[in-house]
Structure 1
């Protein structure tokens, strides 16, 4: 009886039912789109951090930057031998990025902290290559100048003209990798696309892996020899970053990197993996407490420094979008409730007659709530369809977003040197932003949220209408009989 009457009344008032369902569908569709875009922003931000941090890395440990009162860091110094005549000079300056290093024993200290699953050290280096030549000036005697007695030195009188120096300065990055433990750190965010990666036994071998973009620029191939500070390395593999820029231009065994930079038993960064991703903050606190003089940076800390259009869009999705969808959803619920009340008001004669025939107020209320629930479910189905279609359309037409990881003291390898995407773990500045394709994935949780909102909307509308219907009396129907 209940279902038969329900179906008949909905069919008879289908225009009003569709109006209520459409209002709910609009609010639900907007919620789906906003949640999907927000989820896409989080995925995009994760890709940015992944390209920098390395797969499986939960946090990094670096040396804390010295107080400003202790003076700044010493910059690079170039020394050339004085030569007579035209002389070509070349020098490689290899230095730890950020100018701050930790003892290699720090890796074991970090690994021994409660909640740490694994820890691996790495040494991030900047290489400045200076090539050029000095050209001495030419002595030009003064016309008519007398020899001897000039200046008390007995030498000819005149002046030196011309001469000078012309140098080209190129820079690139080298990352010292623990070849025996390559499952953690920046190299894990790249895939070997040619050749091979390091062998576990190549802890001190003169081999290198080159980033694909850098290899293309320098025309390096597998088997090519590259010289760093007079040491020749054979390129055994070409690696392509999964997203964004690679952590470094070249990767070499950790011991070789320490030798190149005169940083024996030193690292710039300790990459840490936690036992439980839910306890990252606790592990961070433990490391900072038990290992003084270090700075611990988590992916959440780095996420706060992401800027560019990705950050702008993420902020809009998180703030304006959510508040807008909430406002529209509340408005849809209120309108659905008011429309249901209005519909009940137009059915006074019908409900009064049913009560005169013996229907209890509870049965009338259940009838109204049942109709409102069906309207809510129909609105939910429509809202899910529109929302999913909108999310996929947004994915298809949305442009790429840019992201830059701004300067952040104490970032991986930075030691206060500042870290940006494309700069790798050592803190050098990037000369280009990371481009990320925006997507709007619709998850099962989002669909479940939409169903819950549809049911909630039906209950709210039914509550409005049921309250109105429960107050009707049989006498109300008799007053309206013409």
Structure 2
């Protein structure tokens, strides 16, 4: 009886049912769209952090670089020995550590021994500035034709230098020293070898290198190619491609080789840390900071706060404005559905009064109204899910491009989570590390379940208001409404 009456009443009031369902559908569709776009923003930020932070890395330990002393210069200096009256080729490499202040390699074991730390790996970030070209020595020629007189005589013209000059190319690239015994953590963790091979655990001090795809393309390197850094020849054994975005490191060397080039024996600039439990990262951070003074511990959440650009702007809009807007629209949809249901009940006075006169108790009338409203809510939920999925698919299909820049986490830190792979860390790589990410809008099962729950909730709210009003009607009301 309940089902038959429900079906008949909904069939009679198709237009009113559709209006209520569409109102709920729009609110639910907006909630699905905002949630899916927010999930896409989170995935995009994860890609940025993963490519710059290191796969499996929960935090990094660095040390802020101290301010240079007055009068000292930490900039690169080049000295050449140009021979007179000759055209001589010159080439020089300037290798400098980048990121934060160098740390002792023994600190890696101290960090690994802290409670809550699963593993720790050290890395050294270098920047190589290569200058090569040639000087051409000019020749001194007299500007006058006469001879120079004696002590009391008049002299000839002053000699002038003619010709000569210099032509130099400057090339700067980043180098990361990698602990080849544990490549699952650190700079190479986010890289995939697409040509050749990676380091073996025995190549701790071998003169071999892995280069990024972009740098290999620029220099036309392939597996087996050789190049020199400060006179030391290295053989390319592999070409590495980042899992996402662009690589911020050009050349990867075994850690000992990088330490030798940078005159940083037994030194690292970044320690990559993996926690035993991802839920205890904040606790592990405090433990390291309290037990190892003078260091800066940066977690992935700290790094996420430094991401700027259109990705950050869009994420903030989706999180704040978008969610509040969806809540406001959903509340309005619920209110409209409740008012429309209540209004429909007021137009059914004769019907409900007659049913009560025939012996229907108030609870049965209320149940009938709530049942109709829940069905309207489920219809609205179905339409809302369809609209939300269509909107999410459209965002994914269009794939709007967003940019993300990694900025400094503050505290005077020159290096950070990006210090290893990027060579300069967030503080120095903010302008350089501009990553372009294609936005997607994935819809999870949780979001669908939320939509169904909202649909049922909307129907119950509307039915509760309408049922309460219907239950208060008296059979005499039906007689008074007869004209």
Please give the TM-score of this superposition, normalised by the length of structure 2.
0.93
3-state SS, counterpart of residue 85 of structure 2: coil
Bigger CA drift: 337-346 or 375-384? Answer: 375-384
Q: What residue number does 1:316 align with?
A: 317
1 CA distance for matches of 2:343 and 2:107?
72
Q: After the TM superposition, which residues 50-449 of structure 1 pair with which residues of structure 2 at under 5 Å, given as runs?
A: 50-66=50-66, 74-81=74-81, 83-86=83-86, 87-98=88-99, 100-143=101-144, 144-146=146-148, 158-409=159-410, 415-416=413-414, 424-427=422-425, 428-429=428-429, 431=432, 433-449=434-450
3-state SS, counterpart of residue 166 of structure 1: strand
2 CA distance for matches of 1:55 and 1:20?
48
2 CA distance for matches of 1:339 and 1:431?
57
2 CA distance for matches of 1:422 and 1:477?
81
Bigger CA drift: 8-17 or 257-266? Answer: 8-17
Contact 1:184 / 1:271 at 8 angstroms: preserved in 2?
yes
**1:148–1:185 CA distance, 2 compared to 1 (3 A):** farther
1 CA distance for matches of 2:73 and 2:340?
71
Contact 1:146 / 1:157 at 8 angstroms: preserved in 2?
no
**1:360–1:70 CA distance, 2 compared to 1 (3 A):** farther
1 CA distance for matches of 2:282 and 2:382?
41
Q: What residue number does 2:7 align with?
A: 7
3-state SS, counterpart of residue 393 of structure 1: helix
**1:74–1:67 CA distance, 2 compared to 1 (3 A):** closer
Q: Please tell me the root mean square deviation across aligned C-alpha atoms, in Å.
A: 2.5
3-state SS, counterpart of residue 176 of structure 1: strand
2 CA distance for matches of 1:83 and 1:425?
36
2 CA distance for matches of 1:72 and 1:409?
24
Contact 2:401 / 2:438 at 8 angstroms: preserved in 1?
yes
Contact 2:18 / 2:376 at 8 angstroms: preserved in 1?
yes
1 CA distance for matches of 2:419 and 2:436?
11
2 CA distance for matches of 1:82 and 1:471?
105
3-state SS, counterpart of residue 264 of structure 1: coil
2 CA distance for matches of 1:33 and 1:291?
46
Query: For residues 90-127 of structure 1, what are the alpha-carbon distances to aligned partners after superposition, in whole Å with 9 as ceiling and x for unaligned?
Result: 11011111362111011111111111111100011100
Contact 1:186 / 1:247 at 8 angstroms: preserved in 2?
no
Contact 1:408 / 1:417 at 8 angstroms: preserved in 2?
no
Q: What residue number does 1:33 align with?
A: 33
Bigger CA drift: 161-170 or 445-454? Answer: 161-170
Query: For residues 216-243 of structure 1, what are the alpha-carbon distances to aligned partners after superposition, in whole Å with 9 as ceiling and x for unaligned?
Result: 1100010001111111111111111111
Gaps of 5+ in 2: none
Query: For residues 282-313 of structure 1, what are the alpha-carbon distances to aligned partners after superposition, in whole Å with 9 as ceiling and x for unaligned?
Result: 11121112111111111111211222222222
2 CA distance for matches of 1:398 and 1:293?
44
**1:422–1:245 CA distance, 2 compared to 1 (3 A):** farther
2:469 is equivalent to residue 468 of structure 1 = yes
User: Following superposition, which runs of at least 4 residues in structure 1 exceed 6 angstroms of deviation?
Assistant: 68-73, 418-423
**1:73–1:372 CA distance, 2 compared to 1 (3 A):** farther
Contact 1:128 / 1:169 at 8 angstroms: preserved in 2?
yes
1 CA distance for matches of 2:41 and 2:334?
28
Contact 1:65 / 1:409 at 8 angstroms: preserved in 2?
no
Query: For residues 443-481 of structure 1, what are the alpha-carbon distances to aligned partners after superposition, in whole Å with 9 as ceiling and x for unaligned?
Result: 011011101111110111011101211221111111112
Bigger CA drift: 338-347 or 299-308? Answer: 299-308
2 CA distance for matches of 1:195 and 1:314?
39
3-state SS, counterpart of residue 98 of structure 1: coil
